[in-house]
Each structure stands twice: as C-alpha cells, then as structure tokens.
Amino acid sequence: MADAAVPLDAGAETTVNRPSLLKRILFNNLPAKIAALPMMVTVLVVFVGCTIWTIYYSFTNSKLLPTGKFVGFDQYERLFATSRWNVSVTNLIAYGAMSLVFTLVVGFILAVLIDQKIRFESAFRTIMLYPFALSFIVTGLVWQWIMNPTLGLQTTLRNLGWTNFSFDWIANPRMVLFALLIAGLWHGTGFCMVLMLAGLRGVDEEIWKAARIDGIPTWRTYVSIVLPMMRGVLVTALVIIGSGIVRLYDLVVALTNGGPGISSEVPAKYVFNYMFSGGNIGQGLAGATMMLLTVVIIMVPWAYLEFGGKGRRT
C-alpha cells in the first residue's frame, strides 16, 4: 500500500540484482524524497528536535544562556512555587473553561439561527465571521478602547444618564478575565458557527422529514437527534478551540498586557517573558514543557477516538 505508486522501477529492480537496503531507502522514489525534504527537515529539526531540546533544557539551570547543568525537577518546583505562574495557570483554566463552553454554545446557537431559512443569511454570516479575519492584536486594542473606563462605554452610558453604570472590567482584577472573554468570543464564535453550520447542513434532510412525520418539535430534533449526530464536528471544534486557548498570548498582550498587576497573566506570556526578557531560560522552558503536556493531554484522547476508533470500525 505504502509503495503503491512506485511500481515501474520497483519491478525492474526485483529481476536485476536487488540493491542493498540502504540504497533502496535513499534512492527509491528519489524525486519524491527530495521534494519532501523541507517537510522532513521541518519535522525532524523543529517538531521533534526542538521539542526534545526544550524538554531537555527544562531540566537544567540555564539562566541567560542554555548551557546550564542538569538539575532535575528544580525548575518545575520553582515554577509551581511562583505565584505568577500559578496565577497564569488558574487564569488559563478559568478562561479556558468559560471560553470553551461559551464558544461552543454561542457557535451552536448562531448556527441554528442561521439554519432557519432566514432572509439575508449570507449578510448575517459575513457579520459574524469577519472578526475572525482580524488579528488578536486588533481585537484586543479595539476592545481595550471600548472598555476604557475613562472614555469608553462606561463613561458614554454615564453621560447618557445611566449614572451608576459600571463597566471597568479591564481595570478590575476580579473581572479582567471576563473582559478577555468578551474579546475572545467576539473573535472566535463566528468561526465556531461556521463549523457547526457545516455540521448541521451535513445532516441528511430525510432525518428532518422523518422527525416531522414523527411529530418531534424542532428544538427537540436539534437536541435529541441532530446534536448527537454532529459528534465529529463537535470534537473537531473542541480540539481546535482547546489548542487555541492554550496558545492564548497576543490577545492578552494587546488587551491587558497581563494587568492589572498580574491578574490576567497566562502561561504563554509567562514563558515568553522568562525566555526573552526575564533572563531565566530554564524557567521559560519548564513552562513551555508544561504547556506541551497540556496539549498532549487534550490531544491523546482525541487522536485515540478519531484514529484508533477508525481502525476498529473498518
């Protein structure tokens, strides 16, 4: 199967002297291997090599330069003894849970609304998706301005007569994660809607007809029949949104820069700061390794379900 596409020269080789294993590995299908060289280099050097390098040096006491000696789990012990890291992790979990739930729920609701044979469907779709085309920096800066306590929405509504209106989330350590959430949902829910809508439209129309004949109300059909049928789309959305959340960085930099204080710090920012301005590479690498671990924990069950399951079904 794997060599299905190389029958022409492969056949010739078996009749003549069979070349050595090394020669075959190098020269069989040579143009394809040369063409795929950038991919192989990327995989070996970046995705495998750099990952191993990062994990390895996270166990050293590298400070300004990665030349330190092996210190076991010292960096990790320090990491979890640092309040800034712990705040970052707590923030990520809180933000991540809220973001995941709201993105999926809002995305699904929007997709259902769009799916109701409405007028101006493409206009509504365009409006919902355009934020996804913008960068997190633009997103963060616009919302920073809207939520600006002195001249933004809060002041505007107060000036319009709603004098005790309060919307200072961006400057309020307790509420700043919700500020982040508003901006994040603005950016990403349209994308989730597109995914969900594709899932909804993929449901066999005869299922809807059968449900109508059975007299099942529309909402019940969505909840009991269509939603469970969209498992594949839901899982895909979950993985994409989840891995996006772990990466959360640009938006925080633009919207709050981790503030007020350290109340909106996230791991990606912690790692970045230690690597490039904190002068403590070991700490940064240990943080990065923890991020990697998180993604592996998200990915492995998914990969098992998607690909492990497929093998059994066929």
Partner 1 sequence: MSQTSTMAGASRVAATNAVQEARGPRPKPFFTPRKIIIYSLLVVFSMYYLFPLYVMFTTSLKSMPEIRFGNIFALPVAPNFDAWVKAWTSACTGLNCQGLAPGFWNSVKITIPSTIISIFIAAVNGYALINWRFKGSEIFFAILIFGSFIPYQVFLYPMVIIARELGIFGTLQAVIIVHTIFGMPILTLLFRNYFASLPQELFKAARVDGAGFWRIFFEIMLPMSLPIFVVALILQVTGIWNDFLFGVVFAGTQNYPMTVQLNNIVNSAQGTPEYNVNMAATVLTGLVPLAVYFVSGKWFVRGVAAGAVKG
Partner 2 sequence: MQNSVSIRDLSLNFGSVKVLEHLDLEIAQGEFIVLLGPSGCGKSTLLNCIAGLLDISDGQIFIGGRNVTWLEPKDRGIGMVFQSYALYPQMTVERNLSFGLRVAGMKKDEVEKRVARAAEILQIQPLLERKPANLSGGQRQRVAIGRALVRDVDVFLFDEPLSNLDAKLRSDLRVEIKRLHHRLKNTMIYVTHDQIEALTLADRIAVMKNGVIQQLADPHTIYNRPVNLYVAGFIGSPQMNMFTGTLSDSTFTTEDGIVIPVETYAFDTPATGSTAAVLGVRPEHIVLGDETAGMPFTIDVEIEIVEPMGSDTLAWTKIGGQAITFRCDSDVVIATGHKVRIGFDPARGSIFSAETTNRL
Find which of partner 2, partner 1, none residue 67 binds, CB within 5 to 8 Å per kind: none
Binding of partner 2 by 34 (CB under 8 A): no
CA 210 to chain CA centroid, nearest Å: 37
Binding of partner 2 by 223 (CB under 8 A): no
Q: Crossing angle of helices 281-303/267-276, nearest 10°? A: 140
Lookup result for tokens 């923890």: 290
Binding of partner 2 by 4 (CB under 8 A): no
Q: What distance, in Å, lies between the first and last C-alpha atoms of the chain?
A: 16
Q: What is d(CA 143, CA 158) in angstroms, rounded to the nearest whole number?
A: 18
Give the residue with the Cβ less far from partner 1, 81 or 151. 151
Among 118, 210, 223, 299, binds partner 2 (CB under 8 A): 210
In 10 A of CB 263, how many CB atoms?
A: 17
Binding of partner 2 by 220 (CB under 8 A): yes
In 10 A of CB 32, how many CB atoms?
A: 11
Q: What is d(CA 259, CA 38) in angstroms, rounded to the nearest whole number?
A: 41
Binding of partner 2 by 228 (CB under 8 A): yes
Give the residue with the Cβ less far from partner 1, 46 or 223. 46
**In the complex, least distance from residue 259 CB atom to partner 2, rounded to whole angstroms:** 47
Quick note: the x/- pattern for partner 2 over 166-205, rule CB under 8 A, is: --------------------------------------x-
Binding of partner 2 by 218 (CB under 8 A): no
| Token pair in block for residue 45 | 């050097």
Binding of partner 2 by 35 (CB under 8 A): no
Q: List 60's β-bridge partners, or say none.
A: 70
**In the complex, least distance from residue 73 CB atom to partner 1, rounded to whole angstroms:** 18
Among 39, 64, 213, 309, binds partner 2 (CB under 8 A): 213
DSSP assigned state of 70: B
Binding of partner 2 by 93 (CB under 8 A): no
Residues 75 and 287: beta-carbon distance below 8 Å: no
Binding residues (CB under 8 A) for partner 2: these are: 204, 206-207, 209-217, 220, 224-225, 228-229
